[in-house]
Structure 1
Amino acid sequence: MRLDKFICKSTELTRNEAKKLLKSGEVRVNGEVAKNAAMQVHENNTITIDGQVLTARTSRYFMLHKVADSICSNVDEIYPSVLNFIDVDKAFDLHIAGRLDADTTGLVLITDDGRWSHNVISPKKECKKTYRVWLRDTISKDKSAELIEQFKQGLQLQGESTLTRPAALVLVMDDTLSVDESNNETNEVLLTITEGKYHQVKRMFAAVGNRVVGLHREQIGDIELADLAPGEWRELTTEEVALFI
């Protein structure tokens, strides 16, 4: 963890205040004066301010049902940050573990534990993320096998030198229609991927000649959005946190 972040987690200081304190030379790490805000410190280090030992607060973990026209950022821009929806102390000291585009809705995980979020977003961890996708062009159930296989084998995205990792594509059919009523086509699918390239889902469907018109993330690993309403949030349970440790 960065030293300035450790100070913020151990005191009521803001990040800017922590950096000013470091420049004053009042902070010591294992007895040595430390002024570098980016210095990496660990749980076994002794960090003091004027001789007082600091103890970092317990890390926090939340899930949020992101609404459209909000952004996964620590600052407000054209759209407000999703952190505005988290009604906790020092919400803007948190960060998002796996961002979504402004127009994408659904499950977002939020924490101040960098190692934990790394386990969520690192491609090496192969954490599955499932999206419900609405498409411009319908897909015929009778002709879907080839498309499903393309996603399974990996797609060549524009500007990328390697194929995407294997992805699972499932058609969502309207089971409420009778055989006579159904046209055996759908523009709604579920897509599960294990990486997070820039605009990946949208680019994957562009690679097969289709266009995403709606995108919603339903699940990350074994954590499901379930019945959490748009704009609502909650703390993760101990069991949910343990899934990425």
Structure 2
Amino acid sequence: MRLDKFLADNSDFSRAEVKRLMHKERVTVNGEVVKDPGFKLGEADQVCLDDEPMRAMGNRYLMLHKPKGYVCSTDDPEHASVLMLLEDRDRFGLHMAGRLDLDTTGLVLLTDDGQWSHKVTSPKHDCPKRYRVWLADPLVEDAEARFQEGVQLRGERHLTKPAQLERIDACEVLLTISEGKYHQVKRMFAALDNKVVDLHREAIGPLELDPALAEGEYRPLTDAEIAALS
């Protein structure tokens, strides 16, 4: 790998900034100053920046407990991105593996591994997502059967995929879906002439939101959690 690419991939510096650092003799390889951005690194080479060893970061995987008022986007001029909840050193290069609406809370996954996030979000992989839903009105009696058969969303040509519904009480339910259509949960209950008043995502596939995480907090995924969604 080129030296400038290694440094840019494993720090918050751009390739241009890396080149300036190298010109100032702040980068060494095996104890020797290297100014050539195209220097080819071997697997055993030790790279230092300001005498501090640089190590390959590898892919990063985080779970975040999203609060209301944040968007799973980086291009909304009116609302803060969930990335702003992360420390500066953790934010660099991450994207959201699936989204939640501004007023929805719960589990959001963040990573810099595009193939991994595709497996989480692609409809082809049928990764289930479980939501806790609070409704404005008591749920109709045949809701479970209708969701299992698939419901017709306004503006959609096809029925939704079968969904699992579990009643907690008349106005609180657990809903598990394997799709990610725009505002899907809200639109599914709208098809039953009901309204979602609160929505919280509890799980993605086998991965459940860590109960130790308060809203706005996050932590790295364990190796087992990463593998469970791979």
The TM-score with structure 1 as length reference comes to 0.73
State the 1:147 CA deviation: 1.2
**Corresponding position of 2:175:** 191
Query: Which residue number in structure 2 is paired with residue 213 of structure 1?
Result: 197
For 1:121 and 1:6, locate their aligned partners in 2 and report how far apart those are by CA, in whole Å.
29
Q: Which residue does 1:122 correspond to in 2?
A: 122
One-letter identity of the residue aligned with 1:123: P
Please state whether the residue corresponding to 1:230 is helix, strand or coil: coil
Aligned to 2:162: 166
Do the aligned partners of 2:12 and 2:92 also contact (CA within 8 Å) in 1? no
SS of 1:172's partner is: strand
Q: Distance in 2 between matches of 1:156 and 1:54?
A: 57
1:63-212 matches, cutoff 5 A:
63-75=63-75, 77-87=77-87, 89=89, 91-139=91-139, 143=141, 146-173=142-169, 186-212=170-196
Gaps of 5+ in 2: 18-35, 44-55
1:57 lines up with 2:42 in the alignment: no
Change in 2 beyond 3 A, CA 1:77/1:137: same
Cα 1:214–1:12, aligned 2, differ >3 Å: closer, same or farther?
Answer: closer
- CA deviation after TM superposition for structure 1 residue 223, in Å: 0.9
Please, which runs of 5 or more residues in structure 1 have no aligned partner?
Answer: 19-47, 174-185
Structure 1 segments, 4+ long, off by >6 Å, are none
TM-score (norm 2): 0.77
Aligned length: 197
What amino acid is aligned across from residue 147 of structure 2 in structure 1?
Answer: F
Q: Secondary structure at the match of 2:139?
A: strand
Equivalent pair of 2:139/2:194 in contact (CA under 8 Å): no
Q: Deviation string for 1:33-81 (max 9, x for gaps)?
A: xxxxxxxxxxxxxxx9423349963000000000000111135632211
Code of the residue aligned with 1:187 in structure 2: it is C
Report deviation, 1:161. Answer: 1.1
Question: Equivalent pairs: percent with the same residue?
Answer: 51
Distance 2:197 2:85 in 1: 25
Q: Is the 8 A contact 1:7 1:54 kept in 2?
A: no
Pairwise CA distance, 1:6: 8.5
